[in-house]
Structure 1
């Protein structure tokens, strides 16, 4: 059997090695020593990776000689040290590389979903080529263009051993059956790798199944998945985004033959390269100068006693970034503006109104106290960083109000006072140089400089929106710090966001203790102006907490100056005291917010100071076309707010790319029309205003075609960690009471993000999240035999409408994106699902009885020749139908589009596709379904009885 050189002794600790905490593992013989560090700085994390690479390099000397064929293998011949690692790998798609050390290499499988402790999960594991042992210690970046290009995380590692009776590993690899025991930090116990038979066995890369076997470590089907529960690096504790951002180690497989498979950024072995373009959003670190080196500069500045509070400088909102040089561009932060005031050993954290919130950000205050200056005043923003590196106000608000365990980071973007001198008189660029020095060496998890770029503002803004950032703030490099709002600071938002005053609320239709929608307003000339409403973005906790606060503010008088009559129905008016943060797509022509989503309550602002944030036109160099200075119309939001450009022809170009991050945006999803992933994302983004009312806050099933419409597609209805930003979940019990997390969404950004997953169809339930058991729309699907002409189908749809009208129900029409038509009936959510299904069944049965030569209500395909199948089965719990404006996963990527009833008079069946959106976009000027939003039709007992009688007649 095999023998192994024992080279796994713990290497001597270098003097410069960082302190780490030992990772606890199950007791195994001569385990590989492992360490884990909290990634408080990129250097500490990089040192930890160096140690791992050194360990795995030492294992390259392992050699195992094969046991002669036919001999029995015993445990005593097995090596004591068999390493394994699992690397989380974001390449063309996120997956997990499962690697077992054997015969001096890493036998490797790519597992798309990662390992699962539920024994019923059989995770597909595609066997890939053996990897060098050294690669098992790697965490960092593989450059684009090389095999596996992307980010690599050491997700887990440890040792493994074959199970009793399966000690001949070489035989197991040949026969396709490996059974082994894992001793890792996250993965433990008995596991099996079984090679699949049939077609899968003949694939270029053999397909195996990774299966958890029964033991004390297994979990139930409803238990949390280990990949979701423990997503970060086992070695450094970093997220994928932190690894990608730090780029401290690079795997360079092109130089592997020369023994230079990897190098450390900044190390002696780093190859020379050209500097990266500024538009790549890389940090621009300045060399530390030492605080004392500023003493001479400080002596020339005006003396002052350290101010107790400095009224902050504020930014005007602009429609586009300023052009030309002389501007510093920073990422816009979504948090609480605060001044940090250090006076000796005392620190205060003051809000934008001067309130002392030190107790709320104690960890940040403690870090400020460590600065090597006696007196200093900093200006910045306290935020919670999301996994993708952007800031998340909703998480920040839950930290303050609900005590959520989120790390608070204070981004400093200005220096106002230092050691008795007024720094505010210096140009901004100089202030930021001094600020970088003051913050040198701090814990960057808690305190850091808000970096800036001096580059093209428009390009930077576009990039910021692609990376899901809030937007950018552009500041004059030569500007002095001036309290109040002025044009030296300009902010551009990828999506609009501002504070509003709550003047009323509606009750939820499902009777929960919460709110249905908030009525929003802002002050103008002392009057509260109605700005629309928001009914999305609430969690179970915020529903309850906001309702509790509003109950104490209820009053009879309407606080707004004026509210449209249709918006007053069912409203409870409140004293205008509660301020909330809201994100929305744009302002409508009626000056109402569109696609608004609740983010959180603002406790740092009083209601009286909430005004509408107006936009201005940013400064441009002399000679620019004057037309560019005109304010732009308030139309649908785009990736860069419909930036007007003028080059030689001085023509207006509308940029409407979706502000979502896509891998391989040029990938073709439909060969016949040339539809790309980017085109699909742009379509979803531009159609969101029309499509969201029909899918928002409903359970959804998605048809995913990651390799295109002509390749295998599949349905996904359950939420998981791989969904794009903004896509959420709602827990729904199945018929057996088992809770399942269904996909749901409510924002344009989330909808556009579906393109990254290759989603070519969106299918909503017929009920909303707030009242799942009562549908608010019924759907009759007319599915004709292909031999029937358009005129026959159109007449059938007209008959359905006529019959519905006869019983007092209005209906709406749309194409299915295929050969059929959908007729949709909006109803008040009063009927339960069984009653709704029975009504629909009785209705179509009556049509079949009246004309059985044309209509059919059974699904039997053999009987459909020359007939129209009246499908009523969309009207039951859990059933879905394709959404209005959704593409279809068919050749040409056709669209299911709402129609006017007059469209039935067209000579041919109308067809619309995603790729030809520009040709039929003008149809959106009129909405044939406009009346549906306010229609409250009820299916009464009289209607039910009447339809039932027709059915039985």
Structure 2
């Protein structure tokens, strides 16, 4: 039964102009009705989603506002029902009163539930469609599992991945104004109205609890930090958020008036150790006081934090590389925020930081809402230390707590045992093992292993080692002393092999945080080497012969036709009408010239386009005329362009089976061939990942080339084979072959996380956000090509661009040497020379690996 009892109890209608309202029964008895999203600049900016049901407006406070990105799960607090009259309000509630601040109608329209809304509310999962000015398509409200002793009704608002979804876009930034007045919330707050009349002002009887100015502290008390509990697996469930685990110094920032202090996790004042940049930026934040939680780190070139570099910089007095990643806010303007849910504290922190410059030394540590297992896998693939998972609705509790869980990435490999340190404890055989690996015919020391032993296993292992005692060290260099092994080492013959789990390698190739897993009696000691990622495909020259024989240097476009005719490669049953028609008039490339190009590259190209769903860019009157995108059949289409139905949505899919199909595309005036990242036989199992580097206007090609090489290095580090091709335009395409196993969501999630990791590591260079505003002066790492139905230009395809260029597969060595992204025009001498070389992508699919989960 709908009720306004809570709404009325909070308001004195003798003092407030808010509508008292009453429950309005739906005369038609239909589910659904109006919806409204209020943008409300109260103590903190938030959005209120209201859905008409049972004569009232069901209401949720959306802390960060709705998002059109299906990957973004927005925290929503279910609040009291509001009267229908409330939907149209736009105006100001005076500060100091209940809900004080400015309100605008950010969006409005109709909503339609998929099922009975009352039952869905009871169940805790409401699926519904919105038909508004800004919000459309299918949405979900999902209730979070309540915490013991808590009464707050917490939900998540999630956009479904449908045609109305806009991954990577921020509708809140792109369309901030009211749909009712067209005014910004700041303008309404200043008293402006669309009709020039006096603005509406509402009053309420609730007193302000904020006395920030009166409580400005001289010096704030230290808050013991919340510590994460180590667990092997990241927690599942939608109630968890996941952050990158940094490898640095945990640091609490305290801001009181103009003074800033940086305190360690035990409360020591380390303000003077980190230079002036971090302190200066914190000092410029607009607040009377604040207590912030975060971690100070140093990033290596790959974008991963390095504790070794951090310590080295502190020892050397170097301060220019320190970054302070902040992830929690415990106090702000005299108010203790520790009882507030995590997502609200993080939103308040992000609001406090505001828009930070890309070079900022103080940075917001963003979070991800994907499943914990997936996030941990992706973090490990990217070379990160691990993740920290936090309950979205949890308060901030000092000490170790299960609402924060850390899951770490680990490495494993075999090592040769070269010695041990006996235990000083009675009954325990040994304290630690000294291990190494073979390199250049010698045994190289790799560090100590001091955990992972049981009482029985340590005694058994000591007996075996004692039988192999030696007088001298088997390692090629002296074993470090100091904190490492020193006096009392027992050397042994390097014959036993142990499996070791460890966190990472140091810069001098010593393992960190190692744990013994057991002996490997199946592996000879002399075969143990340091395990490294395999060499990437692009750096290994293949012995495959050039397709169609070696092309002679061409002096003009006509030579390609002569070469093709001499090899007989252009045979097709498809007849071109008007073969001399120029598709690129300025470059003098005709339909026949395009067909000759495809005949020349066909032996290389066919594995990438045959039996794959296609989308086409057509320019029947040439690239200077009308161009359009086509993915379904049309009248006059040759039967060599095959068709099938998508089994999921029944949509028509185009594909080709042979060279005749390509000839039929040319006959249609197709100037670009775009492919799905899968075959027609496995539509839901992609066989490649693509990263399309799309630079903003004015970004130098050298920066784009450097970006491609950085991605190459990161993928190498993940042992993922990767290939590169020119886009034919302004960028490069980095492509990873896969053995089809993962589904589209898994592949797209990986690509998205990879792109966001690049962005977070170098926000001045990269963005993973599609909007033009976010891309200003940066390179957009386009991961969106990896969704089901999304396409990318095929290898060797022509481009509808100036120069009649080709998207050309190449080697990483050529990219390093300065190869331009538009280096290969159709039929040009440069292109023919490139095609005379060995095929750099010959074994592309042979090198594919499964995108493993775990």
TM-score normalized with structure 2 length: 0.33
TM-score (norm. length: structure 1): 0.30
